Structure 1
Amino acid sequence: MGTFNEYIKNVFPSIDEDLRQYVEGVLENGADDFEDSDEVYEAVGEVLHEISSDKTEDDIKNICNELLNMLRPERSAKSNGSLKILDGPIHLGSIADNAGSNVEEIKSIWVAQRDDTLKVNAKKLEKAEAKLQEKQEKRGKEIRTVAAPKLQTASASQVINKKESKLEAKGNNRAQDIRIENFDIAYGDRVLLQGADLTLAYGRRYGLVGRNGLGKSTLLKMISSGNLKIPSHISILHVEQEVIGDNTIALDSVLECDTVRQSLLEKEKQISAAINSGSNDPDLNTQLSEVYVQLQNIEADKAPAKASIILNGLGFTPQMQQNATKTFSGGWRMRLALARALFSRPDLLLLDEPTNMLDIKAIIWLENYLQNWPTTLLVVSHDRNFLDSVPTDILHLHSQRIEAYRGNYEQFEKTKNEKMKNQQREYEAQLQQRQHVQEFIDRFRYNANRAALVQSKIKMLEKMPELKPIVKEPEVVLRLPETEPLSPPILQLNEVTFYYSKNKIIFSDVNIGATMDSRICIVGDNGAGKTTLLKIIMGILSPSAGTRHVHRNLKFGYFSQHHVDQLEMNMNSVEFLQQQYRGKPIEEYRRQLGSFGVSGDLALQTVSSLSGGQKSRVAFANMCMGRPNFLVLDEPTNHLDIETIEALGKAINKYTGGVILVSHDERLIRMVTNELWVCGNGSVKSIEGGFDEYRKIVEQELEAAQAK
């Protein structure tokens, strides 16, 4: 076998060692089974194409033919086998009449005599398959070994200001502004921030932005956990975990956050119980009066109404506010955690993607509520409209540091772009000046009459501050698969009704349809049935009544709202795609992941170590590897950064298949959709006027609710 091994090395000098062993393993183990070069091409042709893009299909087929000749030198003898030579006319009618007795003669005319020694040896085949499987498992282990992260925890360090440290030690620090100077944050052995500074002025609202995986969420965790030190008298609340479900009703769960009010009410209860039990202590009435005065000062009687307004704004109906917290799903308990934070009003409120758990109505309410937030707010968000409405300042995390900009996101973008243009112009002007000075030095370096002037120019060049060229963040590009056109009708729901029980109808008499040109967004309150409608469209759920018509060649690609649950956390991204789509070359999995921005070492990290946005990209790569021609996207923007959402919008606009999405991201909806379906009040209806009309309806509903 040495000859064909050398031949592969010569023809493909850049072949990866693992791939070479794989190809040789397939050829060695299948040598006895290959009948012709086409079978060799089917076995290894795709791999050979991947490692040599400059060779045509005919080149690869010729190489496969050469490989077969080396593997089966006896193959040439086959052409000299026992075949019947037609050296005279054959009367087929008479042969047919005597077919029973002339079987061997007929076979000798039409069928080549096959040597029994060339039949597949079952034992050999079984042995070859086992050997190949062993090699593949070994290669998988090698990938897994590379992927294992060294450390899965975040750490932080900072330089403490001596003056503030002394004030803190004496208990005299009453500063409301927060300054975290010269700090580093690392995740495992990867440095996220180095020598960074962060200043948060009291009463201002900060939007923290930056690409996925740079450390925005980690920064919030380091602040809330105390790994980054801030004055101890400043109260911090980080909305990160959902409320634990128990028998406490939702309204009381929010009211409990006001610990001062709760302790005064408890004290009042105890004193009143003592008086009612006949206690003769003369101080009890005085103490009770003092408690009443304190309750009046903090407006304790207005607290339930305030808590109810917040809960209502976040989507809790009056009935839901009276339900025990254990009856709510995880998403609603996250809303409850947000309501508790808004009610308790800490000195520093940290919010990480607060709009992910909300519908459009709740987002609009939250935007309006936070515009009057009285203390300091630091929020991580990907929602462009939210970032234009809420923040007074933008903090841009990039290149392991944080840059502060005054104004909302729109102003930040303008300022940043103008700043980069000025820096580029300054760099180019200095570069031109340097070149001009250097030309003078080179020209008169050996001219004695100008020696002093040359030395002066050299010193000037040395003192000139060296500017670095502007490094722009690479543009995010997502690539959705190409599709073939399908003739309509594509998708139709006729008179569809759906219910989980007859007492609770989700929607009825739904008549909607979609084509390959559709860009449809489904909007509506949480619980209105948006995800249920998607599942009926895809055939995951069957209508309780009515009919669903789908084109026989329609192939859905589904991006679930809970896509993270479908990923294998202990695998790396390449292994995950291997598990979902078996039998393809490693390069194809890596190319697919690369088309969604998961490339290089990132593709070999365990999925659990990726950021939320990176996990979403792996889910997109997995969905698109099946080459769907109709995409169903349920909240696809959750965890994606602003640049990736922009890239997703552009990719959808280029996509030649149909798209139905559920989203609360106003910018994406405006960017891609040409039709809006409103899900609510037991129906699904297409709305004229698009998103502008829907937003107007929502704002009117909120105004009416506030008026009550």
Structure 2
Amino acid sequence: MLRIDGLTFRIAGRTILDGASATVPDGHRVGLIGHNGAGKSTLLRLILGQYHPDEGEIVIERRAKIGTVAQEAPGGDETPLDVVLAGDAERAELLKAAETEQDGHRLAEIHERLATIGAHAGPARAQRILAGLGFDEAAQGRPMRSFSGGWRMRVALAAVLFAEPDLLLLDEPTNYLDLEGTLWLEDFLARYPRTLIIVSHDRDLLNKAVGHILHLEQGKLTLYAGGFDRFVKTRAEKIANLEAQRQKQDAARKHLQSFVDRFRYKATKAKQAQARLKMIEKMEPLPELPGEQRIDFSFPCKDELAPPVVTLEGAAVGYEGRPPVLRNLNLRIDPDDRIALLGSNGNGKSTFAKLIAGRLAPAAGEVRRAPKLRPGFFAQHQQDEFHLDETPINHMAALLPKASPTEVRSRLGAFGFGATLAETPVGRLSGGEKARLLFALMAVDAPNMIILDEPTNHLDIQAREALVAAVNDYAGAVILISHDRHLIEACADRLWLVAGGTVKPFEGDMEDYRRQVLAGAFDEGPVKSAAAPSADRKDQRREAARQREALAPLVKRVKAIETQMEKLAKDLAKTEAALADPKNFADPARLADLGKQRADLLKAQEAAENDWLEAQEALEAAS
């Protein structure tokens, strides 16, 4: 599908790719990884033809359709469903041509191609993709102008997934998704039937959705089999073997050189010394050991508090002039709590975090905080408050007016800001560097509670691992909102579900939550907690039998509709075959009759698909 051969590319004199080569076979799902600034996005632009290499070439299978997420989604009166359906340009063009085409032979070809690409099932498929990315039925029919930029980017992602290109290129697609959307996308991409290259720093996505890792390091590309965890193990073994070879080669060189130094000027040994010199010269230098980019930082905590840190009794919270977003909050947070908030975007996770942080006052009920509580709050939108022409030193010095320049630099250095980076204008920092600057500024007051709202956006894998270590070493309470499942599983020991207008503990683990998200449980309100494992087996069997009996009518209805859909599909195929039969081209009346039959069958098929979707959703909800 894709061959990269000796690719070299430079930007402003800096070499990004240096003779890089790799081959991605047809049907492979590949995760493209590398530290921030390594050139991953640049490589995607080269594949798309937006950049042109200085040397080498990129060869893509002939006639392969390449797709990527559009930079912007429309913001007019079109609905998300309209935009997604238009994402498959071939389907849209064929449907438009079918409405105006007069030539019977050409019309038959059009209908044959539409049948081949499954065009008539398009609306149902588009609806499923949008639903997976968080758009309910009502949202799918709203005008695009009513959505924020993040939701429009979800529509752009849905459009390219619907188009199902032969080569799909995705660059950090989860940055605009919540955890629920990320879990759905992970499952969708794991079953993607064509070639996929995805840039991501999400470990779970790279373990579950791809079968190979393409590592970009020091301008070179290396393809590894397996997901991310296997890549880490294989690469560690490769580095260890390389180091062992280097030590062995150094020992051999030292031994040979010792002989040469002793005997090169002794007549009887001169030839042997020269032979050993040639052996040393012929030793091929081993490649340099790859340098690991390591980042370490920590969150200081002083004034540790006695429990409870925060208590909520009958509390409600919302925004002025609007009904409360969350009600009936009866919760308690202790100093050693590590709590992750689950729930779809829009359910109120950030609102709840602001209430805990004291940035929103309760609309009802009571919120009691420890007198010395000092929360630190991290939110991605705070990056918009940076002064882009000022440096990290300026921002840190503003918070520490009495600190010496050495102390200011030391504070920044603890979060990976060396001398050069600390003096770089914020406008020129990468997204990950801005996030680390936010961490550094948040840590200034040594808060005894930290609230992290999507902290991993733009962080590479090394920085994410540093964040995991920093959170686990932190002495205070932690409230975490993240679409990164690895971060939640590594750091949180309690899960709270924000859904149905309130916040309640979720008793299952992340795997329970994932299963229920993919089953559509969150579409019908709060996700249910995992069943208690201690139930008696006989009672469990009885309950299972009762559920099967209750579900039987729904199962029967789904199967009946599926049988109807199979019959309609066969009838439609026969009709389209007749339309494509040259024998019927000379009989206009026959063609007209067949055209009417086909139109009726398409309407019946669409109605059956809608009935099937409703029945399936009812069955899943009941299950």
Question: Which residue number corresponds to residue 241 of structure 1?
Answer: 71
CA distance in 2, matches of 1:479, 1:335: 34
CA distance in 1, matches of 2:27, 2:112: 29
Contact residue 567 and residue 619 of structure 1 kept, 8 A: no
Closer, same or farther: CA 602–214 of 1 in aligned 2, 3 Å? farther
Aligned residue number for residue 330 of structure 1: 149
User: For residues 600-621 of structure 1, what are the alpha-carbon distances to aligned partners after superposition, in whole Å with 9 as ceiling and x for unaligned?
Assistant: 3222222222222112111111
Matched, 1:416 2:235: yes
Shift of 1:638: 1.0
3-state SS of the aligned residue for 2:120? Answer: helix
| Native 8 Å contact 1:212 1:614 kept in 2 | no
The one of 220, 223, 233 equivalent to 2:47 is 223
Tell me, in whole angstroms, the C-alpha distance in 2 between the residues paired with 1:256 and 1:600: 50
* Secondary structure, aligned partner of 2:344: coil
Give the C-alpha shift of residue 695 in structure 1.
2.8
Structure 2 residue 34 is the aligned partner of structure 1 residue 207: no
**SS state at 2:496 partner:** strand
Displacement of 1:255:
0.6
* 2:88 equivalent in structure 1: 258
Paired residue for 2:176? 357
Aligned counterparts, 1:265-276, within 5 A: 265-270=95-100
Q: Assess if the C-alpha contact under 8 Å between 1:396 and 1:404 holds in 2.
A: yes
- In 2, the alpha carbon distance for the partners of 1:243 and 1:436 equals 66
Q: 1:513 aligns with which of 323, 332, 335?
A: 332
Inter-partner Cα distance in structure 2 for 1:417 and 1:330: 40
Which position in structure 2 is the counterpart of 1:641?
A: 460
Q: 2:226 corresponds to which residue?
A: 407
Q: Of residues 571, 590, 598 in structure 1, which corresponds to 2:417?
A: 598
Among 182, 193, 196, the residue aligned to 2:6: 182
Q: Is the 8 A contact 2:303 2:372 kept in 1?
A: no
Provide the C-alpha distance between the structure 1 equivalents of 2:27 and 2:215, rounded to a whole number of angstroms.
19
Contact in 2 for aligned 1:635/1:663 (Cα 8 Å): yes
Q: 1:464 to 1:498 in 2, by over 3 A?
A: same
Tell whether 2:13 aligns with 1:196.
no
Equivalent AA in structure 2 for residue 256 of structure 1: A
Deviation at 1:266, TM superposition (A): 2.6
Deviates more, 1:612-621 or 1:192-201: 192-201
**TM-align CA RMSD:** 2.5
Cα distance, 1:641 vs structure 2: 1.0
- The count of residues paired between Structure 1 and Structure 2 equals 521
Partner of 1:553: 372
Residue identity opposite 2:43 in structure 1: L
Structure 1 Cα separation of the partners of residues 262 and 38 of structure 2: 48
| Unpaired runs of at least 5, structure 1 | 1-176, 272-282
Cα shift readout 1:583-642 (whole Å, capped 9, x = no counterpart): 433322322222111213222222222222112111111211232221110011111111
Change in 2 beyond 3 A, CA 1:575/1:183: farther
- Amino acid in the other structure paired with 1:588: E
Residues 496, 509 of structure 1: 8 Å contact kept: yes
SS at match of 2:380: coil
Deviations 1:494-531 (A, max 9, x none): 11123448985422111112122111111111111100
Find the partner of 1:620 among 439, 446, 459: 439
- TM-score norm. by structure 2 comes to 0.78
Aligned to 2:552: none
Aligned partners of 1:520 and 1:676 also within 8 Å? yes
- Distance in 2 separating the partners of 1:564 and 1:185: 31
* Structure-2 separation of matches of 1:300 and 1:470: 52
Question: 1: distance between equivalents of 2:165 and 2:50?
Answer: 16
Aligned residue number for residue 656 of structure 1: 475
Tell me, in whole angstroms, the C-alpha distance in 2 between the residues paired with 1:673 and 1:562.
Answer: 23
Tell me whether 574-583 or 433-442 shows the greater mean CA deviation.
574-583
Change (3 A) 1:185 1:702: farther
* Amino acid of the structure 2 residue aligned with 1:258: D
Give how far 1:201 is off.
2.2
Partner residue of 1:307? 126
Could you tell me how far 1:705 is from its partner in structure 2?
A: 4.5
Distance 1:472 1:241 in 2: 33
Shift of 1:565: 1.2
C-alpha separation in 1, matches of 2:411 and 2:49: 38
Instruction: Find the aligned partners of 2:307 and 2:454 in 1 and give their Cα distance.
Output: 27
What's 1:372 paired with?
191
Return the alpha-carbon distance in structure 1 between the equivalents of residues 512 and 95 of structure 2. Answer: 47
Q: Indicate conservation of the 8 Å contact 2:318/2:351, yes or no.
A: no
Superimposed CA distance per residue, residues 427-473 of structure 1 (whole angstroms, 9 cap, x where no aligned partner)? 11111111111222223334333222222212211212233563441
Question: 473-482 or 671-680: which moved more?
Answer: 473-482
Query: Structure 1 423/213 Cα, relative in aligned 2: closer, same or farther at 3 Å?
Result: same
SS at match of 2:254: helix
Paired with 2:210 and 2:505, the residues of 1 have a C-alpha distance of 34
C-alpha change, 1:187 and 1:566, in structure 2 (3 Å) is farther
Higher relative contact order structure (alpha carbons within 8 Å, sequence separation ≥ 6)? 2
Determine if contact 2:376/2:449 at 8 Å carries over to the other structure: yes
**Does structure 2 retain, via aligned residues, the 8 Å contact 1:476–1:647?**
yes
Task: Say whether the 8 Å CA contact 2:317–2:324 is kept in structure 1.
Answer: yes
> TM-score by structure 1 length?
0.69
The aligned counterpart of 1:150 is none
Q: How far apart, CA to CA, are the structure 2 residues paired with 1:467 and 1:300?
A: 55
Task: Output the amino acid matched with 2:183.
Answer: I
For 1:318 and 1:617, locate their aligned partners in 2 and report how far apart those are by CA, in whole Å.
39
Q: Distance in 1 between matches of 2:48 and 2:398?
A: 38
Q: Which has the larger radius of gyration?
A: 1
CA distance in 2, matches of 1:446, 1:651: 61
Unaligned runs of 5+ in 2: 53-57, 523-615
Shift of 1:553: 1.6
What is the CA deviation profile of residues 94-118 of structure 1, one whole-angstrom value per residue up to 9, with x for unaligned ones? Answer: xxxxxxxxxxxxxxxxxxxxxxxxx
Rounded to whole Å, the distance in 2 between the matches of 1:428 and 1:375 is 44
Distance 1:422 1:702, change over 3 A: farther
Query: What is the alpha-carbon distance in structure 1 between the residues aligned to residue 423 and residue 273 of structure 2?
Result: 55
CA contact (8 A) 2:312 2:366 kept: yes
Mapped partners of 1:633, 1:208: distance in 2? 27
Give the direction of change, closer, same or farther, for the CA distance of 1:612–1:221 in structure 2 (3 Å limit): farther
* Aligned-pair CA distance for 1:486: 2.0
CA distance 1:234–1:336, shift in 2 (3 Å): same
Q: Percent identity?
A: 39
Are the structure 2 counterparts of residues 403 and 294 from structure 1 closer, same or farther at C-alpha, using a change threshold of 3 Å?
closer
Say if 1:222 and 1:625 are closer, same or farther in 2 by CA, change over 3 A.
farther
Q: What residue in structure 1 maps to residue 613 of structure 2?
A: none
